[in-house]
Amino acid sequence: MNINLPSISPPVPGLKTGIESQNQNLESGGISRTFEKLLQDVNQQQLTAEAKQVELLVTENKDIHGTMLALEKADLSMRLMLQVRNKLVGAYEEVMRMQV
């Protein structure tokens, strides 16, 4: 499963830090782009698994091992994506409950 999360780099002199950089990251769509990339990766895993299933059924190439691996990768990537989504929704709901 190829999920590329943004790396955390050490602070650079002259670079905005703290809340300013977090706000700028959110405004530029950092989290949404990361989640969109995660969704695209999960979708690709699902499509690969489906193609392996069709190949197993219609061709003489009976790669059961490869098909099962593709199915398990797709299942795990879907579960991971759902857990990340649940954590994001939970964090959003917690922030919305905060009093200003």
What pLDDT digit, counting tens, does each position of 34-86 carry?
888 989 999 999 999 999 999 999 988 888 999 999 999 999 999 999 999 99
Q: Among residues 70, 24, 26, 63, which one has the least CA distance to residue 44?
A: 70
pTM of the model: 0.62
Domains in the chain: boundaries: 19-97
Structure-model confidence comparison of residues 5 and 87, the more confident one: 87
Cα(35)–Cα(97) distance, integer angstroms: 23
